[in-house]
Amino acid sequence: MSTTGTPRGPVDSSRVPRYAGPATFARLPRLDEVGHTDVAVVGVPFDSGVSYRPGARFGGNAIREASRLLRPYNPAQDAAPFALAQVADAGDIAVNPFDIGEAVATVEAAAGDLLATGARLMTLGGDHTVALPLLRAVARRHGPVALLHFDAHLDTWDTYFGAAYTHGTPFRRAVEEGVLDTSALSHVGIRGPLYGRRDLDDDEKMGFGIVTAADVLRRGVDEVTDQLRQRIGDRPLYVSVDIDVLDPAHAPGTGTPEAGGLTSRELLEILRGLAGCRLVSADLVEVAPAYDHAEITSVAASHTAYELTTLMARQIAGGDASE
């Protein structure tokens, strides 16, 4: 906070060119510069849990670079998020790239420390493995949470090569550990081939509802968003976004692309439709800049994180201190 008690916002781009200075998210202050934050943007540069193309360890910084273009007023939500709440860049959680178990424990502990200050998290991955320790930490604070999961893939498989913790298994583990409210679980954007029909059967038994990418196309954003809101209700909500929910035309820079995905416009509009939901934290994962073209994926990811951050800032400004 500034000395006047108002949030300290981003660098003024009319005075300092966007390409100058350190690349914090949206050119916001670092956490050590403000001391306390309502929303902490934190990176997890980890991709040792991927099953195909690596590179998401560089995703957080690519998103930060792309976020230089963000401006402080969000007309789609009619809000200036960085004036409504203190948002700061908390840097990266340094994790062991050679030991997945240790990395998961490190993320859980670091996330717990940030949440204990009263902050909500906007986490930039990294691969989707990191969602499990983040959910563990959030559930310790809020109890089992509703989950809205945007992805091409279910991520409820049991194992890859005998490993329990991978980017394809976090939500099965989260259900098994009781950190999710199984009456309010949704996938959005699912598409592409599966290993077998059992993948869908197992997913349904865990409590997930599925909105496919084709559903969004045929039914439209407004109808889909209404369905999701009804399922979420007034429960504490965690949103997890795998950037491969977008079609490769909109997000080529990811590890496991699938044809037939959402447009960036559809994703952003669904997120904007969550206004008023009890969003307690979120993550954005699987941005792999080595496969990106002209920063298409990083730009889409930066705007996705911006919309999620705006939702949290609006809720905080609305006086919801219980979160």
User: What mean pLDDT is predicted for residues 86-114?
Assistant: 98
* Residue 321 banded pLDDT, cuts 50, 70, 90: very low
* Residue 137 banded pLDDT, cuts 50, 70, 90: very high
- Distance from C-alpha of 56 to C-alpha of 282, rounded to nearest angstrom: 17
- Distance from C-alpha of 268 to C-alpha of 159, rounded to nearest angstrom: 31
Q: Is the predicted pLDDT of residue 4 greater than 70, yes or no?
A: no
DSSP 3-state of 265: helix
pLDDT of residue 323: 45
* Residue 142 banded pLDDT, cuts 50, 70, 90: very high
Contact call for residues 315 and 323 (beta carbons, < 8 A): yes
Locate 157 and state its tokens. Answer: 């498989």
Give Cα 247 distance to the centre of its chain. Answer: 17
Q: What angle do CA 113, 179, 282 make, to 5 degrees?
A: 60
Report the run of H or E that residue 142 belongs to, with start and end: helix 131-142
DSSP 3-state of 154: coil
Contact call for residues 62 and 298 (beta carbons, < 8 A): yes
Nearest in space to 251 (alpha carbons), one of 304, 190, 288, 296:
296
Q: What is the overall mean pLDDT for the chain?
A: 96
User: What mean pLDDT is predicted for residues 238-246?
Assistant: 99
Quote the pTM value.
Answer: 0.97
DSSP 3-state of 310: helix
Percent of the chain past pLDDT 90, that is, above it, reads 97
**Taking the domain 25-317, which CATH number applies?**
3.40.800.10
- Distance from C-alpha of 15 to C-alpha of 235, rounded to nearest angstrom: 42
Report the run of H or E that residue 205 belongs to, with start and end: helix 197-205
pLDDT of residue 1: 53
User: What mean pLDDT is predicted for residues 194-200?
Assistant: 97
pLDDT, one tens digit per residue, over 160-189 is: 999 999 999 999 999 999 999 999 999 999
Sign of the alpha-carbon torsion through 171, 203, 268, 248: positive
Longest dimension (CA), the chain: 59
* Residue 2 banded pLDDT, cuts 50, 70, 90: very low
